[in-house]
Amino acid sequence: MESTETRNGKYKWYKNGVQQSARHQSIYIRFASLQDSGSYQCQINDSERSDPVSLFVKTEGVILQAPNSVFEGEPLHLRCHSDSGDDHENQNITFFKNGKVIQTSDQNFNFYVSRVTVDITGRYHCEKKLDFTSDQIQSEETVIDVKEVFYSPEIKMAPYPMVEGDHVTLTCETSPYKQMIVLKFAFYRDGQNIQKFGLSNQYGVQSAQLEDSGNYSCEVKTSDDSITKTSKGINLLIQSLFSMPKINITSYPITEDDNMTLTCHTSLSPLREKTELQFAFYRNDQIVKNFSKSCQYAVQLKDSGNYFCEVKAPNNNVKKRSDVATQRRIEKQDGYNLQNIIRLVLSGLIIIALAVILSDYVKTS
């Protein structure tokens, strides 16, 4: 028996909340009686008391010895015990769960599960034949409640709905029931791992893009990999901040010196309608107007070339460019010279007038 003062400190024992006289690391009850039944706790120095352990002393001929509590992943040991001992032959020991036989043996008075799961939970009892009778004596029923080490995880996100450029944070929420347990977390999108197991229960995207949309789930496991649980999936839809831009010519020149206007068209999502967009214009892949709030750019016929525009939101990484189909080739023939048209018309009128004069002259002569 150890000393009351050890390297770990002083020990205290409590029964049903009342401190006992025992001062050692272990206590021994030599001849147990009904009065010894109760809830026991221990304490070292001024630390918190341990979880309670229940002791039941019974007078029945057969009892089922079982732990007060068991967590998933731990071993479970049940013992069908009698006051006559367990060294007799042909005792016909049978274990039951919820009224159904789970094990029968002539000699084995133990039922053992190396690693329990939640479905082990149930009502257990045993029966055996004692040496003074040929009848099977049944124990009282004991409820075995397998406690979860941590509850099934749930993946959550905020805010919602989300658009391109938003910061997205996914949180894998769970809580350990068992003290001093270390959990690890992993995240998946459409079944593909996007964040390996680690101590953080969050997954973040600094500036979400359309391709970040998908079905997300998380997985949680203990540090010893003995228990793993997966959350249900949650759908994340990243909506467009603004539509793909299109470049259009909004006016045509009359003369070569006249201006035409290029306009970069796009539309903002109603979810972020106060966002200020910036526009840039390119000719033949060279920038001709840097980003600004104006969605228009004036050019002349001498500026012919392949044009496209680019739109961005200044506060995030969302940037879109008008595609090849929306590029416009500005050619001189697009603005046919009105002066040439006038010359042709006047020439035609002169020819007609000369023809009329010639006709009248021929008639008079």
pLDDT in tens, 134-165: 678 889 899 999 999 999 999 998 767 899 99
Instruction: Collect all residues with Cβ–Cβ distance below 8 Å to 63 and sequence separation of at least 6.
Output: 81, 82, 139, 140
pLDDT at 329 exceeding the cut of 80: no
82 compared with 169, residue with greater pLDDT: 169
Give 126's strand partners. Answer: 95
Residue 59 is inside which H or E element, if any? none
Asked whether residue 190 carries a pLDDT value surpassing 50, the answer given is: yes
Alpha-carbon span 54 to 68, nearest angstrom: 6
Nearest to 10 by CA among 18, 29, 2: 2
Delimit the CATH 2.60.40.10 region(s) of the chain: 5-147, 154-239, 246-335
Element (H, E) at 168: strand 168-173
Q: What pLDDT score does 10 carry?
A: 87
Side-chain half-sphere of 281: how many Cα atoms within 13 Å? 24
326 pLDDT above the threshold of 50:
no
Q: Which two tokens stand for residue 16?
A: 């049903």
**pLDDT confidence bin for 260, thresholds 50/70/90:** confident
pLDDT tens-place string over residues 333-355? 444 455 566 777 777 778 887 77
Q: With CA atoms as reference, report the closest residue to 47 among 6, 4, 11, 3.
A: 11
Residue 253 pLDDT level (bands cut at 50, 70, 90): low
Mean pLDDT calculated for residue range 235-262: 80
Q: How far is CA 316 from CA 74, 164, 258, 319, 326, in A?
A: 50, 9, 38, 9, 25
Q: What is the mean pLDDT of residues 236-253?
A: 85
pLDDT digits (tens, 9 = 90+) for 209-220: 999 999 999 999
Name which residue leads in pLDDT, 304 or 44.
Answer: 44
Query: 338 CB contacts (<8 Å, ≥6 apart)?
Result: 254, 255
Give the pLDDT mean for 177-203. 93
Q: Does domain 246-335 have CATH number 3.30.9.10?
A: no
Find the mean pLDDT for residues 312-332: 68
Mean pLDDT, residues 205-234: 93
pLDDT at 4: 41
State the DSSP code for 340.
H
The CATH code that applies to domain 5-147 is 2.60.40.10
Distance of CA 198 to the CA centre of its chain: 14
Residue 13 has pLDDT above 80, yes or no: yes
User: 113 and 120 in contact (C-beta within 8 Å)?
Assistant: yes
- The fraction of the chain above a pLDDT of 70, given in percent, is 85
Categorize the per-residue pLDDT at 193 as very low, low, confident or very high, splitting at 50, 70 and 90: very high
Q: How high is the pLDDT of residue 334?
A: 45
Between the alpha carbon of residue 180 and those of residues 150, 175, 177, 197, 227, the distances in Å are 12, 12, 9, 19, 15
Cα(289)–Cα(277) distance, rounded to whole angstroms?
A: 15
Q: Which of 128-132, 248-252, 262-266 has the highest mean pLDDT?
A: 262-266
Whether 133 has a pLDDT exceeding 80, the answer reads: no
Q: Does residue 102 contact residue 95 with C-beta atoms inside 8 Å?
A: yes
Give the number of C-alpha atoms closer than 13 A to the C-alpha of residue 2, restricted to the C-beta side: 13
Contacts of residue 22, Cβ cutoff 8 Å, sequence gap at least 6: 11, 13
Q: What mean pLDDT is predicted for residues 205-231?
A: 93
CA 246 to chain centre: 36
Give the confidence band of 251 by pLDDT, cuts at 50, 70, 90: low
Q: Contact 244/311 with Cβ under 8 angstroms?
A: no
Q: Residue 209 in contact with residue 240, Cβ under 8 Å?
A: no
- pLDDT score of 291: 94
CATH architecture for segment(s) 154-239:
Sandwich (2.60)
What sign does the CA torsion over 24, 25, 31, 37 have? Answer: positive
Mean pLDDT of the residues in the chain:
84
Spatial separation of the C-alpha atoms in residues 343 and 334, rounded to whole Å? 19
